[in-house]
Amino acid sequence: MATSTQRHRALGLTDAEYGLIVDLLGRDPGDTELAMLSLMWSEHCAYKHSKKLLRRLPTEGPAVLMGPGENAGVVDVGGGLGVAFKVESHNHPSAVEPFQGAATGVGGILRDVFAVGARPIAVLDSLRFGEISESERSRYLLEHAVGGIGHYGNSIGVPTVGGEIYFESSYEQNCLVNAMCLGLAPHERLIRAAAAGPGNVLVLLGALTGRDGIGGASVLASAELGEGDEAKRPSVQIGDPFAEKKLLECCLELLDSELLVSLQDLGAAGLTSSSAEMASKGGVGLDIDCSAVPLREAGLEPFEIMVSESQERMLCVVAPERVEEVIAVCERWETRATPIGAVNDSGRLRVLSDGDVVADLPVGVLVDDCPLYDLAPAPPQTRLYAPPPAALTGEESPGEILVALLGSANLASRRPVFEQYDPVVQSRTVRRPDDADAAVLALPTGEALAVAIDGNGRRVACDPRRGAAEVVYECAANLACVGATPLGLTNCLNFGNPEKPHVAWQLVEAVDGITEACRALDVPVVGGNVSLYNEAPSGPIFPTPVIGMVGRLADPARAGRLAFTQEGDAIALVGEFAPSAVGSELAKLRGEEIAGPLPLIDERAVQEAHETVRQLVGSGSVRSAHDIAEGGIAVALAECCVAGGLGATVALPEGLDPFAEAPGRAFIVSGSPEALAGLQVIGRVGGDELEVAGQLEVAVSELHEARERGLAKFL
Amino acid sequence: MLGGVSPTVKFGVIRFPGSCDEVDAQLACERVGEAVILWHGDHDLQGVDAVVVPGGFSYGDYLRAGAIARFAPVMVEVTEFARAGGLVLGICNGFQVLCEAGLLPGALLPNTTLRFIFRQVSLEVATSGSPFTRACAPGDRLSIPVKHTTGRFYAPDQELARIEAQDQVLLRYAPGHNPNGSLADIAGVCNEARNVFGLMPHPEHAVDPLTGSVDGLAIFESIAAHVADSVPAGGVPG
Amino acid sequence: MTVRARVLVKPKAGILDPQGQAVERALPALGFTGVHNVHVGRLIELDVEDPARLPEMCERLLTNPLIEDYEIVEDADS
């Protein structure tokens, strides 16, 4: 049996951290305590390397009802309703088993949303894999992750209304699966996680507890795992959307009936983190009786019960006189409800098993006393990312370049993916994937919500500060295209090993970039997630911040669309657009270096452009609006043509590179010549070709064909 | 809205554990009448004029889609109601439940593509001679979305011949629009007595111009019209 | 006397089995030739006190006789 010294190291605690624990407790921790502490003090749970940095993000705003720190952030949308939303990563499990990893990622983010009392009304996903044209493994990951997202989201009756997928060799060893969920709740039903009321009962809801996700903590097992016993410690958690559907309806009914004091979902580190967080927020203590926890199999040790990551479970606090009613509601929904403990005012988390105390820790040691580390950022001294192999010879005409871009995996139609998702269940969806740049969902108030998710890796790798700011601007631009004003955002920061100075630098720069953009647009961060240590022997992944943004628009019938639909319509360029080739999709196809500053961002000009487009769309003055992002203005025009089946004749401003990029800053709108009279008109809708004067002339059918096949041929 | 002395048609939409589109169906029904949710565990149809078995994943689609839901307590009353001539509409998972329950012929198999598919498809009305399509004309095209993994309609040859001969195919996928490999492009069939109808497409997701096409309304309007005709002149149904 | 039984369910012959076809297509790509007639079904395992009722269980719930065939295997030593 391993000695204490070796055990704590095997569990991921440093010698210094272990020493600190011993100091705080005044003794060595027992087995169960060590397991609990090693998880609560892990990067994943404690955000040791990122918490201090994340405090720079602006989190306040007039519409914010719940900010970071709760299960999900919530903003007010009028009519007494709040919208809860959050994005989370499930990167590492998806690399192991993409179907279940992605499925349980969706399951987890759904629980975070209904844990605050909101009914999940939409899911979006941001996925990143290696090059599917080269890598069979990445094709496999893509296919199965998409299958898993569809399986979970469709089965539970929550529409998947948007998302993004990108392919870069940087993600070959470390795929990214980020899932976002939005939920709706009347203000009165919103609930916080803080456990309160000494004497109240702790009730565990949902699935049986098994050995899922115990992983590294298994060194603490008192019995050696023999051969053939591996099956007892499943490394893959299997999601059960049917169980979660019942759990969800059950929880919402419990909340509508005002039967709960607080609610928390069980995610990473299972019972340990949920109970510790609840106790910490409430400033109370908790007693948990392991023997009362319903188990999937016999013989689980207390530490296994406390760290199990079995899915589809929630923890709630109930006044003793209401427990019977809670159990009755749960029975109706075929959901298990088991009292497993009680709230007290000790400020300690005690775990009992068959009457014996197997863990007794001050709540503070589990949560607040975990050390937070300062990053030691330093710009990279060497080139971090090798340029991709060139896919173009350099001899191509602009027309051929456009076709190549549209047919590239990063820009081609995502239809083969989103056709595997149900975008309409719950009857709120006003704009489906491919209709517009953001999804639009009707609210009972007569207004509507808009939501988009965007990320970038390659551009952030070139210039972390501006690249990260661009992600925020692009997301807001997507919302402007449907006529929506941003209310708040959630972020998922996917980075490499923060203990390495160049990664720390990327992280700090990116957070500062996001902060600047949020302040410029007056959009608060209401919650988010960090996924670190995404590294391969060859180095870190591209620094990849992913932003999910929610906005509000007054009239869903006026929600914008991106297609050119009317022969004779004028086409205008809105926004100050000074793009460059740095970090562009064309630069990738040309095999260029991943370096160089991105174009300057004129905050005032960006705000004005967004507001202009918002007004044009909201007033019904334009027939289409589309932001210019990857592939530059030529690709944006091509996308509008393909969507509407109509060509266009356009003359670009002098010197404007048709494929240069500056996301989030400029837009293409179409409408009657009278309506667009005051704008920078660049052409007309009509015919069956896209003609960019002096550059290219390509049949819309050819553009359509290239775009349809680009991704479909790999699935 | 029906005018004159016709009382409002009352729909009952079943909710099983795992049903997803029951509220959507209720909203659609409410455009032509009243609609209540009927709990799977209650032996009570609350005196409705028509029953809707909705879409979703009842019981997680465990064992086979609809295989467990067909034994739900409320299905006893639904079966009696159907045998007595009451109108029953099964949508997607509801179609699967009715086939498993033997209230409709045939069975639904996995899509030939083996994947879930969401798509707005064009349906062709095969006959207007039914309570569910009387508001349409034969040959009418309806734009309605499908969303399913197990929607391929199958019946053994003799059964299929009988279904066709007896005009029990009410809706077919228009040429080029069959998303799942259904035999004879069948999208929806009724029973011999023509009072039970199952279809894989989701008409309840085609009733609101804000969210899509409104071609699905015709099916709910057909039901409402049929119920109105069935009411004794001048009287309110008992 | 409790018996451990297994019910093997497979698609009826003559019905298109795309899962079986997909598996049959995938095997040669991995170097397995000479494989034909692949069908994919389902296995249900149960401890049952009265094995005589198994066929009825199969007909009523465990299988859909319109589209599936089944085979009951009882464990000799349980």
pLDDT tens digits, residue range A327-375?
Answer: 999 999 999 999 999 999 999 999 999 999 999 999 999 999 999 999 9
Whether chain B has a CB inside 8 Å of the CB on A312: the answer is no
**Residue A170 per-residue DSSP state:** G
Interface of A with B in 538-567 (CB under 8 A): 556-557
Residues of C in contact with B114 (CB under 8 A): 18-19, 22
For residues B14 and B57, give the distance between their C-alpha atoms in angstroms, rounded to a whole number: 13
For this structure, is A44 an active site residue? yes
Residue B238's pLDDT band, with cuts at 50, 70 and 90, is: very low
- Residue A97 has a pLDDT of 93
Specify whether the CB–CB gap between B107 and B121 falls below 8 A: no
For residues A74 and A116, give the distance between their C-alpha atoms in angstroms, rounded to a whole number: 9
Residue C8 parent element (H or E): strand C3-11
CB contact (8 A) between residue B24 and residue A419: no
Q: Are strands A348-353 and A285-289 parallel, antiparallel or unpaired?
A: parallel
CB contact (8 A) between residue C62 and residue B100: no
Contacts with B175 (C-beta within 8 Å, 6 or more apart), sequence order: B185
**Shortest CA gap C11–chain B (Å):** 10
What are the pLDDT digits (tens) for A433-452?
A: 999 999 999 999 999 999 99
Q: Which domains does chain A have, with CATH numbers?
A: 4-41+195-366 (3.90.650.10), 51-188+376-712 (3.30.1330.10)
Whether chain B has a CB inside 8 Å of the CB on C16: the answer is yes
Mean pLDDT of chain B: 95
Rg (chain C; Cα; Å): 16
Asked whether the predicted pLDDT for residue B237 surpasses 90, the reply is no
What are the pLDDT digits (tens) for A590-607?
A: 999 999 899 999 999 999
Name the closest residue on chain B to residue C44, using Cα atoms.
B63
Residue A1's pLDDT band, with cuts at 50, 70 and 90, is: very low
Specify whether the CB–CB gap between A491 and A507 falls below 8 A: no
Asked whether the predicted pLDDT for residue A428 surpasses 90, the reply is yes
| Residue-wise DSSP of A672-705 | -TTTTTTSEEEEEE-SSEEEETTTEEEEHHHHHH
Q: What is the pLDDT along chain C (78 residues), one digit of tens a residue?
A: 789 999 999 999 888 899 999 999 989 988 999 999 999 999 999 999 999 999 999 999 999 999 999 999 988 554
Interface of B with A in 25-44 (CB under 8 A): 27, 41
- Residue B167 has a pLDDT of 98
Of B57, B61, B211, the CB nearest to A429: B211
For residues A497 and C30, give the distance between their C-alpha atoms in angstroms, rounded to a whole number: 37
- Mean pLDDT for B56-68 is 95
- Residue B235 has a pLDDT of 46
For this structure, is B202 an active site residue? yes
Residues A135-155: b if buried by 16+ CB within 10 A, e if exposed: bebbbebbbbbbbbbbbbbbb
For residues B100 and B85, give the distance between their C-alpha atoms in angstroms, rounded to a whole number: 19
What are the pLDDT digits (tens) for A545-594?
A: 999 999 999 999 999 999 999 999 999 999 999 999 999 999 999 999 99
ipTM of the complex: 0.95
Residues of B in contact with A424 (CB under 8 A): 118, 145, 147, 202, 205, 211-212
Indicate the residue type of B177: H
Q: Domains of chain C: which residue ranges?
A: 3-74
What are the pLDDT digits (tens) for A480-535?
A: 999 999 999 999 999 999 999 999 999 999 999 999 999 999 999 999 999 999 99
CB contact (8 A) between residue B67 and residue C18: no
Residues of B in contact with A147 (CB under 8 A): 115
For residues A283 and A273, give the distance between their C-alpha atoms in angstroms, rounded to a whole number: 15
HSE-up (13 A, CA, CB side) for residue A325: 14
Asked whether the predicted pLDDT for residue A409 surpasses 50, the reply is yes
Bridge partners of residue A120, in order along the sequence: A183
- Matching CATH number, C3-74, of 2.60.40.1120, 3.30.1280.10, 3.90.226.10, 2.40.10.10: 3.30.1280.10
**Number of A:B CB contacts under 8 A?**
78
- Residue A225 has a pLDDT of 47
Residues A658-667: b if buried by 16+ CB within 10 A, e if exposed: bbbbbbbbbb
Whether chain B has a CB inside 8 Å of the CB on A446: the answer is no
Bridge partners of residue C8, in order along the sequence: C43, C71
For this structure, is B205 an active site residue? no
**Shortest CA gap B152–chain A (Å):** 16
Q: Domains of chain B: which residue ranges?
A: 10-230
CB contact (8 A) between residue B112 and residue C18: yes
Phi-psi region of A163 (alpha: psi -120 to 50; beta: other; left: phi over 0): left
Angle, helix A241-256 to helix A136-156, in steps of 10 degrees: 40
**Shortest CA gap B117–chain A (Å):** 5
Residues of C in contact with B152 (CB under 8 A): 16
Whether chain A has a CB inside 8 Å of the CB on B114: the answer is no
For residues A692 and A683, give the distance between their C-alpha atoms in angstroms, rounded to a whole number: 9
Place of tokens 């009321």: A197
Pair of tokens at residue A76: 């007010």
Specify whether the CB–CB gap between A486 and A524 falls below 8 A: no
Nearest-CA neighbor of B89 among B3, B170, B149, B158? Answer: B170
What are the pLDDT digits (tens) for A673-701?
A: 999 999 999 999 999 999 999 999 999 99
What are the pLDDT digits (tens) for B183-220?
A: 999 999 999 999 999 999 999 999 999 999 999 999 99
Nearest-CA neighbor of A435 among A160, A625, A704? Answer: A625
In the structure, do chain A and chain C come into contact, i.e. share 3 or more CB pairs under 8 Å? no
**Shortest CA gap B228–chain A (Å):** 27
Whether chain B has a CB inside 8 Å of the CB on A433: the answer is no
For residues A278 and A194, give the distance between their C-alpha atoms in angstroms, rounded to a whole number: 5
Residues of C in contact with B156 (CB under 8 A): 66
End-to-end Cα distance, chain B: 22
Whether chain B has a CB inside 8 Å of the CB on C7: the answer is no
Fold that domain B10-230 belongs to in CATH: Rossmann fold (3.40.50)
Residues of C in contact with B63 (CB under 8 A): 61-62
Interface test with B, best of A415, A425, A441, A553 (most B CBs within 10 A): A425
Mean pLDDT of chain A: 95
Interface of B with A in 58-77 (CB under 8 A): 59-62
CB contact (8 A) between residue B117 and residue A423: no
Please give the model's pTM, rounded to 2 decimal places.
Answer: 0.95
Among residues B92, B99, B136, B190, which one is catalytic? Answer: B92
Phi/psi for A537 (5° steps) reads -55, -30
CB contact (8 A) between residue B109 and residue C62: no
- Mean pLDDT for B137-144 is 98
- Specify the higher pLDDT residue, A232 or A70: A70
| Residue A88: Cβ within 10 Å count | 25
CB contact (8 A) between residue C66 and residue B106: yes
What are the pLDDT digits (tens) for A199-241?
A: 999 999 999 999 887 766 666 665 554 555 555 566 678 899 9
Chains that touch A (3 or more CB pairs under 8 A): B
Specify whether the CB–CB gap between A232 and A214 falls below 8 A: no
Among residues B204, B205, B221, B226, which one is catalytic? Answer: B204
For residues A674 and A539, give the distance between their C-alpha atoms in angstroms, rounded to a whole number: 54
Asked whether the predicted pLDDT for residue B1 surpasses 50, the reply is no
